[in-house]
Amino acid sequence: MNERVANPAHPRVYLETYGCQMNVADSQTVSAVLRRAGYVNADGVEDADVVLLNTCAIREHAEEKVLHRLRELARLKNSRPEVKIGLLGCMAQHNRVAIMEKAAFLDVVAGPDSYRRLPEMIGSAGFDASIDVRLDRGETYADITPDYGGGVRAYVTAMRGCDKFCAFCVVPYVRGRERSIPPADLMREIGELAARGVKEVVLLGQTVNAYRFGDTDFGALLGMIASIDGIERIRFTSPHPGEMSESIIDAMATEPKVQPQLHLPLQSGSDRILTAMERGYTVAQYLDLVGRVRAEIPGVALSTDIIVGFHGEEESDFELTTAIMREVGFDSAFMFKYSVREHTRAFRLGDSVSEEEKGRRLTALIALQEEMSLARNRAMVGHKFPVLVEGSARRGGGMMAGKTPQFKTAIFRGVEGIGAGDTVNVRVDSATGHSLMCSIA
């Protein structure tokens, strides 16, 4: 048997992360908070004293995955009752009552603004769960340096929360009000990352381009970060189309470190649906923005998010979405079936499009996007790009992988002396919808 003696001074924690990059970044903050308090990392749930799930509530499917995992953990708790199990993140914030009913064995339930208190919460959890889901508009964790993993790229939270309240979206309810991390803290943190060999930073926020701290707007922040020695590439996600000011487009156009890549969530190509979604822009405004971005940032890659089957979406609305997708020609897109979320403004409207119809629309849209992605990537054949090397390609065989400025995966045969963190010039030989096969130029 694999017996081991727990070391009470250094309890082992296993942290599992679901959801978006912001949750991945939050988990690094959680990790840092716990490490300061004496915790060490466990290799898996088997050797953990504490198991934490950092969860996502964006769609029902995301919550189902976690509920499934919780049923597995219930068995672990049964066989080893001393293990403490905690639910963190957006789902903890969203549905704590329902979750405590479904998983009464939980010891800790902590929302995204409660991570500073985690050691205390885990320590005090006994017969009753320790629950803290207060949202705190002052919490930015600015003073806590997250435990970054290795690698050439680091994701850095620049702002937290969201004030947009799109009718379908749970984020403002689970993440609370918008707040920006002071530029000085970001500069210090990114400086430290650069000193550790990080070459690329991705600034994160649900509406990252709404960043503002005093007089520093997002365009100015990009310029400041570009001045950090050692940082070669800067990206950000997700900007909101309604917040794409000239200062940001300008920084992208003039600052070579800011990469020609922009994720601009469209959600729908129908004005009627955009209004119902309360997105705050029209299709014409979105297309005008795309035009300006493409004119000022040559070679920019555009990606987007689309929801199909929002309440009231008719076939004619869906056709408008496919038409816009064709017209813009996104390099890639994330596409989702609408999922009704409790607490949101659209919740009371319910679902008007059947699951089957949503599936049909989604399948059609994915097929269209695959065509577009392939066409966009094929257009790169013969062109040269500087690629920031990340390491061996997953397919092995001496192949290496990295990203082009447009954030496309480039795969090429490795050569002596080139490794992670180097930038090499490659020429694209062939393309699929997902990657570019290249040779060193």
Q: Note the residues at the interface with ligand F3S (CB under 6 A).
A: 19-20, 22-23, 56-58, 90, 170-171, 174-175
Q: C-beta of 2: minimal distance to ligand SF4 in Å?
A: 43
The answer to whether residue 172 forms part of the interface with ligand SF4 (CB under 6 A) is: yes
Q: Rank residues 267 and 377 by Cβ distance to ligand SAH and give the closer one.
A: 267
What is the rounded distance in angstroms from the CA atom of residue 377 to the CA atom of residue 9? 53
What is the rounded distance in angstroms from the CA atom of residue 178 to the CA atom of residue 161? 4
Query: How far separated are the first and last CA of the chain, in Å rounded?
Result: 55
The answer to whether residue 30 forms part of the interface with ligand SF4 (CB under 6 A) is: no
The DSSP bridge partners found for residue 313 are none
CA nearest neighbour of 237 among 25, 89, 28, 409: 25
Tokens, residue 49: 């004293």
Q: Which does 22 bind (CB under 5 to 8 A by kind): ligand SF4, ligand F3S, ligand SAH, none?
A: ligand F3S
Q: C-beta of 162: minimal distance to ligand SAH in Å?
A: 6
Asked if 388 and 412 count as a contact pair (C-beta separation under 8 A), the reply is no
Find the helix or strand (DSSP H, E) in which 64 lies.
helix 60-79
E strands, 285-378, are 301-308, 332-337
Residues 6+ away with beta carbon under 8 Å from 166: 267, 277, 278, 279
The answer to whether residue 320 forms part of the interface with ligand SF4 (CB under 6 A) is: no
What is the rounded distance in angstroms from the CA atom of residue 15 to the CA atom of residue 11? 13
Q: C-beta of 349: minimal distance to ligand SF4 in Å?
A: 16
Q: Rank residues 56 and 258 by Cβ distance to ligand F3S and give the closer one.
A: 56
Q: C-beta of 213: minimal distance to ligand SF4 in Å?
A: 19
Q: Which does 172 bind (CB under 5 to 8 A by kind): ligand SAH, ligand SF4, ligand F3S, none?
A: ligand SF4
What is the rounded distance in angstroms from the CA atom of residue 382 to the CA atom of residue 428? 5
The answer to whether residue 207 forms part of the interface with ligand SF4 (CB under 6 A) is: yes
Q: C-beta of 396: minimal distance to ligand SF4 in Å?
A: 38
Q: C-beta of 338: minimal distance to ligand SAH in Å?
A: 5
Q: Rank residues 59 and 212 by Cβ distance to ligand SAH and give the closer one.
A: 59
Q: Rank residues 66 and 166 by Cβ distance to ligand SF4 and give the closer one.
A: 166
Q: Rank residues 160 and 257 by Cβ distance to ligand SAH and give the closer one.
A: 160
Distances (CA, A) of 161 to 142, 158, 190: 14, 10, 21
Q: C-beta of 207: minimal distance to ligand SAH in Å?
A: 6
CA nearest neighbour of 82 among 121, 115, 122: 122
Asked if 234 and 198 count as a contact pair (C-beta separation under 8 A), the reply is no
What is the rounded distance in angstroms from the CA atom of residue 243 to the CA atom of residue 218? 10
Binding-site ranges for ligand SAH (CB under 6 A): 58-59, 168-169, 171, 206-207, 238, 240, 265, 267, 305, 307, 336, 338-339, 341
Q: Rank residues 305 and 357 by Cβ distance to ligand F3S and give the closer one.
A: 305
Q: Which does 338 bind (CB under 5 to 8 A by kind): ligand SAH, ligand SF4, ligand F3S, none?
A: ligand SAH
Q: Rank residues 171 and 426 by Cβ distance to ligand F3S and give the closer one.
A: 171
Q: Which residue matches tokens 């496919």?
A: 322
Determine the angle formed by the axes of helices 315-328 and 283-296, rounding to 10 degrees.
10
Find the helix or strand (DSSP H, E) in which 333 lies.
strand 332-337
Q: Rank residues 153 and 164 by Cβ distance to ligand SF4 and give the closer one.
A: 164
Q: Which residues bind ligand SF4 (CB under 6 A)?
A: 162, 164-166, 169, 171-172, 206-207, 240
